[in-house]
Structure 1
Amino acid sequence: MFALSASTAPDTIGVLFIMSIDPSISSTPFACIQKYSFSAEEKEILFSMHAIFRIGNIKKHVRYDQVYEIELQLTADDDQDLRILTDWLSKDVEDEIGWKRLCNLLIKIGQLEKAEEFYNTLIEQTSDVKDLIHYYGQLASIKFQQDDKKMSMSYHMKIKELEKTTSSNNSDFNNKIIATIMNFSENNKTVMFHSGDCTLASEAVLKCDVMPMEEFQEKQVSANAFRFYEKALADFERNLCSTTIYNSVDPVDDDLKQTCPLLWFQRKMLEIRQKYLPPTHSDIARSYSVVASLYRKREDHYQALSFYQKSIDIYEKILPSNHPFLACLYNNIGTTYKCTGEYSQALFFVKKSLEIGEKVLPPDHPDLNSTYGNIGNIYQLLNEYSNAIVYYEKRLAIHQQQLPSNDLKLADDYGDIGLMYNKLNDYANGIVYYEKRLAIHQQQLPSNDMWLFDSYEHIGTMYIKLNDYVNAIVFYEKALDFTENYFPSEYATMFVYSCRIANLHGKNENYWQSVFFYQKAVGINRYLSSNPLNLALCYNNIGAAYTKLGENWEGLFYLENALKMKKSCSSEDESCLGSIEDNVNRLKELLNENEHQSG
């Protein structure tokens, strides 16, 4: 009823769910509530809240264009895909039960506000100090993710106050405090505490997951922060300590402690995990990934690749082959190979990432969009411009669906595609895309932005390649005006564009304009360091233009000046000037003949 009503409403899409239920394979309860419903004719069915349906075919309604039909099948009790998913979720939010587990899950899926509401409610309902430590630690973590550093700090100060009310001999409880702070350190950004001293170790320390590391800049770490690092590591090891000791450990160079404390800290955490956890434990894989990301930030790409490979070796064993974590790691490995210049390897791994992404993500997902751009860039570096265009256009298609038509990201897309067409000598298409980029830049950027100059220069040059000198002049004049208005001391640029415009006017046989711009170049040249070649070229071209106009005496004047400047040029420069002397002699002979004829 409601879905079909969309067929008469503009800008509305109706969705009709067609559900199939087989009670013989699913124990999920459901019941007909028609007699309890407000509208008995609706024949409503009530399903249990944990009912899960598998999506089948999606197609347009046979009669109504604005209505779609989606087939749903109630999952069977032994559905393998669902079992794998629920088992993974159980492991991913392990070590907690009840409300704590729900809150952890909400944080993992990004529902921070809902998690915060639950934690505040739980704080009101408990007086247990251990639970309060946990709740305040999680709230501090949430606030830091929301960029509310002041509130995050206040929650950690509450933890410190609670710590004072407990016995320092209670090692299990102390481990709980350290675990809370360490959890905050790993999953968000680290706030250092030691003996009541609160030190922010860096503006944004690290984010311990398989997603790309947030930008951060290391600052000098205080002695108190180092003491916290060491105390936290010791308690972290005590917290993990078990009767089983594993021997496969990556040793840590203590020199890192001074040169890169954050990397040293994560390497030590990895070392502890390797010592007490099974070699295929997910926490070890996560540590490998974090360490790899830190090495990549330091541009130590081969060390980064080594740790990324160790991480992927574990994740490939414990995760489904199409898990998003694997896609992210493949992308990170590919991006790192790109930094080393090994573009074929980079392409291999980024395409593996894309293969997973296209299976598990919606077709317009931002991660797919980023991957398309990354692949396009790698093809560009491989000089495979046609393939680069394919992926740049995929990225453009997503942006066109999601962004306003004048968004700067679209301008970047148009520029990338235009450049590829330019590289392929397809100048007509190159101009189309560069002009689209220029239109957005003219709307969105200040009038003195260098991207405008870049477009003028590229478009003008492509018009020259098409022998369309009139339009080339239009854009070169825009480039010249831009430089004169916003960068008036860039005399070298103004000189070059004045000469280019003069040359194009000459090709169009518009010799007066050619003379005007060459003389403009001569005037600009006064502000440049003495270069006789520049003046010789200008004088020679002005003389030639005047000759074409029949102004032979003016032509002779400039050609003789060019000849004088030629004598000051090096032997290498002389080759650029051609036979000026021959031109001067021919022009003198012509003038003499004219004088005799007139006499």
Structure 2
Amino acid sequence: MGTVFRVCAIKLMDNKNQVYQVELQLTSDDDKQLRSLTDRIREEAGGLIGWQRLGKLLIKTGQFNKAEELYNILLEQTSDQGEKAVFYNQLGLIHFNQGDNEKAMQSYEQGLKIHEQTLPSDHPNLATLYNNIGLMYDNMGEHLKALSSHEKALELYQTTLPLNHSDLATSYSNIGSVYDHMGEYVKALSYYEQALEIQQKTLPSNHPSMANSYNNIGLVYDHMGEYLKALSSHEKALEIRQKTLLSNHPSLATSYNNIGLVYDNLGEYSEALSSHEKALEIHEKTLPSNHPSLATSFNNIGLVYDHMGEYSKALSYYEKAVEIQQKTLRLNHPSLATSYSNIGSVYDNMGEYVKALSYYEQALEIQQKTLSSNHPDFATLYNNIGSVYNKMGDYSKALSSHEKAVEIQQKTLSLNHPSLATSYNNIGLVYDHMGEYSKALSFHEKALEIQRETLPSNHPDLAQSYNNIGMAYDNLGEYSEALSSHEKALEIRQKALPSNHPSLATSFNDIGLVYSKMGEYSKALSLYEKALEIQQKNLPSNHSHLAASYNNIASLYKNMEEYSKALSFYEKAVEIQQKTLSSDHPDVAISYNNIASLYKNMEEYSKALSYYELALDIKQRALPTTHPSIKKVKERIEIVKEEMKKKK
């Protein structure tokens, strides 16, 4: 071996000319860490020489266009069938990373066809192709086909390799990934842990592959709602990567992004932002300004701002992501669909439903060009579109969209997949808005049944279902049942989430609403104030959830006939909404409607009329003409006009 140096530090000396000072330390001949690393590199190189080694390096460094060009040349120049199969396999991997699923599958199948004709049925190269085809099917949402391919690969490895071989660990990880996507989280965890067990026996304790396993385990725990376990696993992955990789290595950015996503789920938004910004900083230092990984970071930061209710900031980051993707990816790349969907979500939250639908439909158009017709991502988009139609009061379209989602999920997922529960809950919410509370209850209970079978007992999604069931009972006037369900939701959230998580405030508000309807105003007020306290500590001062809490407290004071206090809280709610929502957002109309109702109770009819007319104007601009709330406001306007005539 030639002279090898250890990189100790890298300092920027001249920002203008990008001049760096690199501090190097000469390694000794008996450096154990260096020896372990070089032995491993030799093993991973697998005897490749010349152009093939260069091709593999180009793929590892993300230079897919150059790698594609090289392998196409190699394919033309060789007459060796074995080499052709290898080159087709590498081209499949390249097309997969370029987002071209169809070309990737064609290349893999050509490689597999050659191998099946030229190799013994138990040759390890067949297993490699089965694994790659499995990854392809998994990416296409064809999970059962993916599982079948990965299990073929595993069977070959088990018959031809030692039980602790690294290729077996790879197969276990691949199968774990499919089960994760299928929502079978216990099985996913089992396979990932088998992969980790092999790695712990055969690899150095700080090998990057172990970091990948901890990362995978963290992702499953995150999906299971076990956020502290997820955080622990991601931090183990980060610790390994910090010890073995340069401080600006992209894998560190991956860890920071994953940690950020967990903090986001925990409602710890400042920690989430901090982690995502660390990832972004690494990407900005090491990657070209239009690299897709930068778009991923911008999307993640946008997601946090979206959850914080800072919609203009969220929109800005999502648009940065789209700008990069439009420059560097094919116009029908699935990542663009994700970004369009994110932008749609912000406009949905802002009450700009027409814009939201437009972006969701752009995402849908991309998916229709690139994914199989029953890919689970279609179901997600149909659910998003259905939710917008529900808010617009177009209930038939909302139901149709959610039912399309269910139809896809029933064809492609297990019947107890958590995503089906999400769709059933969405259908329940539509029936709730339609006033068909018994039907709503039935769908929410279906969702809960699935979640009880597949998720841990303290998963936050269970709390959401109990919350929905509580609302249905509330609307049915069954207040004791409503309280019971809302209290179950609160109990889960208190076990699973930090004490200041916004979802706890949601539970306190929901329970308070039931007590308010029962006429137990002091209990209701206490709960509303608990909710408000959490929100004031953890959300921006202009977050829409604060406006909702102010509206709840105001309505309670109105019922208690403390009208001046009620007016003060209603005005606080409107002030927030006017700062953060579009001028024709339906929530602003609800606040105006509440103030009008208050003035009506105070017999200040001219003011009541003015606010009812403001509410009507917004609803007529924002909602379909057939929306039931438009008819209600018109009826209230007529009642106020009649009262004004009587007063005269």
Task: Give the structure with the larger helix fraction.
Answer: 2
TM-score (norm 1): 0.42
What's the TM-score once normalised by structure 2's chain length? Answer: 0.39
Higher relative contact order (CA 8 A, sep 6+): 2
